[in-house]
Amino acid sequence: MAAIFSLLGSKKWIILDGSAGISRTGSGAPTASGAKKSFGERIDDPPTNVTSGDSHGNRRVTLTANPGEPLRRSSPLRVVDIWSLPGFTELKALGEGGFGRVVLARHDVSNSVVAIKYLFRRHLLDPARLAAFRREATILSRIHSPHVTRLYEFVETPEGAAIVMEAVRGISLREVLAADGRLEPEGALAVLKGSLLGLADAHRVAIVHRDYKPDNVLVGPGRESKLVDFGIAVLAGEAGVPVGTPAYMAPEQWEGLPASPSTDVYAATCVFFHGVTGRRPFEADSIETLRELHRDAPVPVELAPEPVRALIARGMAKAPTGRPFGAAEFVAELEAAAIAGYGEDWEERGLLRLAQRAGVLLALSPLALLGAGTAVAPGLAAGTAAGTAAGTVGTTAAGTAAGSVAGTAGTAGTAAAGVAVSGKVIAAIVGAVLVAAAVVVAVVVGTAPSGANGNPPPVAAGTTSATPVALVVDLPTRTENDGTFDVSAQYARVSGIGDPAVQQRVNAALMAPLDQWIGYVRQGVNGPEQNGDIPHVHNEVKIDRQDRKVLSVQYTLTVDSAQFGNHGAAGVRTINLDLATGRTLTAADVFRDIAKSAQGMSLLSQRILARSPGGFCGGTPPVNDVRGLEPGDLDPYTPAGTGALQVGFAKDGVTFVVEASALGYPMVCDPTEIVVPYRDLSDLMTPEARALLL
C-alpha cells in the first residue's frame, strides 16, 4: 500500500512508493501512517521537506488537484497510455479492458512476483475514472482476509497510476465450469464457504462486493478458493445505478437500491446454484426479462440436489430481510446443511476434488509454464518431490465480464489469470508495531495422489512407520466470535501421516500458536472499541519447508484493536516439526550444543550477520546499547515477547526471525528475517539436527 500524505489548503497529495495504511481524516482526505525506505520496509516519520527524491531512493511526485479539476503539475501531462511502474520487470500481460491493463511483474529488489493493475494514462485527466481507481485501492486496503486478494501498494504519479496486488496461481471458477459443466455438491459447497469467509471479512469493515460471479472466484491446486476484484465494491448502505453481472444480481441491485451484505449473499448463492446444477438460476433473452425473473420468479430449487435446496431458497430470498444478513451468518447455515447432507468430512472431500481438477487445468495452461519458470524466493521452496511449492492461487479479474450492467470506471475488461510462486515477506509496519504479511496467503505443499474414487489412497495394511505416505498440508479457516472479539484465521493442518498419534501431535502443535494468540487477546481485550466495533484477530500462514522429514510453518498473527497499542498488535511464530515423531524443534534444540557457550553464541551471531551486512535491523541505527546474542535468546517465543531468536527451515537454509528490539534496535525492526545456508551453520548444529535437515 502506498503512503498518502494530506496537506492543508488545496488538495495536494504526495504519493510515495511505500507500505502504509490508507486512512482518512474527518474531511475525507487520505492521511499517511508511514512510508517505506524500500519495498517492504518502513521509516517511522515521513519527511517534511518533499523533494524529487531522498536518501532512501523513494520517488516522490507532488500532485495538485482543486475540487472538480483533474490532477495537474507545473508542466502539461503527455498522455501516452502505456506506462510501467519503475522497479518492476513485467513478465506477462494478463488482461486489458476499458480502464487499463493488468500484468504479472517481478519486483527488481525482492524478486517478489505481483500483479499490477494499471489505469490507462488517458484516464488521469478524467476525475471520475481516477477517483474510482483510488477508491478500489482504498477498499482493498481495508480488507484483511486469507480469502481475498491482498493489496500491496497504490502508486500515483503524473505518468500513471497503478495498484500493486497479490499475484495468484490457479483457475477461475468460470473456467472450471466451462471445462466440467458443474461441480460435485461437496466441491460447490467448499467454494461457497471459502467465498463467504472472504465476503464476511469484507462485510466486517462495511464493504459490499456487488459483483460476485464465477470470474471472481479462484480455485487453486492448494485446496482453497480466493475472492478477487472489488472494482465496483461500495460501502454498505450506498445506493446508485444498477451495477453488477445480471445473471447473479439481487433484486435490490436491479432497482438501484442501497447495497447490503445480504446483496452479496444472494449473488454467492446464485453462483453456488450455477456450480451445483451447471446452469444459472435464471436465463432470458433480454435484460428486462432477466430483471423480472430475479425480482418475481420462484427460485428453481428442484434442479439442485435435495440436501442444498433449503440453503439455496434462503440465500436467494427476494427480500433482503428474508436472507441471512451477511456472509458470516450464512456460513453457519451452510455448515449445518453440508454436514446433514454429505457427512462430517464433506469439506475435506470437496477441497481435494477441487484441487485435483484445478491442478489438471493449470497443467494444460500456459500459466503452468510461467509458474515453473518463476523464481521462488528464499523461504518458500518446498522440500522434496513429496511436495511442490504452490504459491498463492487464482486468476485476477481485470474487470467485469461482457454482459455487466453499467460497469463503473475501472472495472470493464477481460478476466486475467496470474501466477505467483514467490515467498518474500512484504512487511507493512504501522506505528511502532510490525504487522508482517507474507506474500503467500494460501500455500499448500504437496497434493496427495488419489485413488479411483478421488480420495487419498489408504495406507497399506501392516504399515507402522510414522513416515508420511502422502503428506498433505491444507489451510482451513478457524472462525470464532464470543461477543468481545472475533477470529477469522487460518492454521496449517496435515493428513497422510501413517501413525495417527504422530499426526495428532503434529496438528496440535500447528494449532498451538493460534490458541496462544487468541488467549493473549482474550486476556487483553476490555470491551468494544470506541466506534462500537469489536477487535478482529487475523493471521497469515507461510509454509517454509515440507518434505518427508520436516514441516516448517510461519504464522503472522494480528489483532486490530487500539487496546493493544495505537495500531493493534502483531507477532510472528515459527513452528518446526519432526514428522517421524511429531516433536517440535526450537532454536535451542537445533543449536543445543552451543546454547550454553558465550563463544558459541558469538559464533552463531557472526554467521547470521555475515548474511545481513546491515545488522539485525537492515542498517537502521540502534536506539539503545546493542548487545550480542545470548543463550536466553533461544528460549521458546511467546506472545508476551520472550525469546529474541526463532528459527524456521527452508529447503536450503535456516530462516532466523530476530526480535531486534530485544537487542537494542527500534521496534520498527521487529521482526527481521535473515536466511543463512545450512552449509554455513552445519558445524554449529547438533548431530540430530544435521541428520534431519541436511
Select which of 211, 215, 474, 547 is catalytic.
211
Provide the domain limits for residue 36. Answer: 1-68
Asked whether the predicted pLDDT for residue 639 surpasses 80, the reply is: no
Residue 105 and residue 99: Cα distance in Å, rounded?
Answer: 19
What residues contact residue 355 under an 8 Å CB cut-off, 6+ apart? 220, 221, 222, 223, 444, 447
Q: Are residues 560 and 592 in the same domain?
A: no
Q: Are residues 541 and 608 in the same domain?
A: no
pLDDT band at 643 (very low <50, low <70, confident <90, very high): low
**CATH code of 614's domain:** 3.90.640
Question: Between vectors from CA 265 to CA 264 and to CA 266, what angle results, nearest 5°?
Answer: 90
Q: pLDDT tens digits, residue range 379-425?
A: 222 222 222 222 222 323 333 322 222 222 233 232 222 222 222 22
Look at 78-82, 125-129, 163-167 and tell me which has the smallest mean pLDDT.
Answer: 78-82
Q: pLDDT tens digits, residue range 168-210?
A: 777 788 888 888 889 999 999 999 998 898 888 888 878 888 8
Q: Are residues 486 and 548 in the same domain?
A: yes
Nearest to 432 by CA among 666, 142, 615, 153: 666
Do 23 and 154 meet the contact criterion of CB atoms below 8 Å apart? no
Asked whether the predicted pLDDT for residue 132 surpasses 90, the reply is: no
Compute the mean pLDDT over every residue in the chain, rounded to the nearest whole number. Answer: 70
Look at 237-251, 375-389, 627-641 and tell me which has the smallest mean pLDDT.
Answer: 375-389
Q: Are residues 394 and 435 in the same domain?
A: no
Q: Are residues 263 and 397 in the same domain?
A: yes
Q: Are residues 386 and 273 in the same domain?
A: yes
What pLDDT does residue 14 have?
A: 29
pLDDT band at 18 (very low <50, low <70, confident <90, very high): very low
Q: Are residues 317 and 431 in the same domain?
A: no
Catalytic site residue 211? yes
Q: Are residues 595 and 550 in the same domain?
A: no
Q: Are residues 297 and 229 in the same domain?
A: yes
Q: Are residues 379 and 442 in the same domain?
A: no
Alpha carbon distances (Å) from 135 to 23, 30, 139, 220, 494:
12, 11, 6, 28, 39
Residue 266 cell numbers, joined: 444472494
Residue 303 and residue 278: Cα distance in Å, rounded?
Answer: 10
pLDDT band at 243 (very low <50, low <70, confident <90, very high): low
Q: Which of 20, 48, 68 is the last residue of a domain?
A: 68
Asked whether the predicted pLDDT for residue 211 surpasses 80, the reply is: yes
Q: Are residues 346 and 493 in the same domain?
A: no
Do 405 and 211 meet the contact criterion of CB atoms below 8 Å apart? no
What pLDDT does residue 348 have?
A: 86
Residue 117 assigned ligand-binding role: yes
Report the share of the chain in percent with pLDDT over 90. 24
HSE value, Cβ hemisphere, 13 Å, CA-based, for 566? 8
**CATH code of 377's domain:** 1.10.510.10
Residue 566 and residue 569: Cα distance in Å, rounded?
Answer: 9
Q: pLDDT tens digits, residue range 483-529?
A: 899 999 999 998 888 888 898 899 999 999 998 899 889 988 988 88
Look at 258-272, 347-361, 536-550 and tell me which has the smallest mean pLDDT.
Answer: 347-361
pLDDT band at 236 (very low <50, low <70, confident <90, very high): low
pLDDT band at 90 (very low <50, low <70, confident <90, very high): very high
Number of domains in the chain: 4
What pLDDT does residue 363 have?
A: 60
Nearest to 473 by CA among 546, 398, 423: 546
What pLDDT does residue 387 have?
A: 29
Residue 341 CB coordination number (10 Å): 18
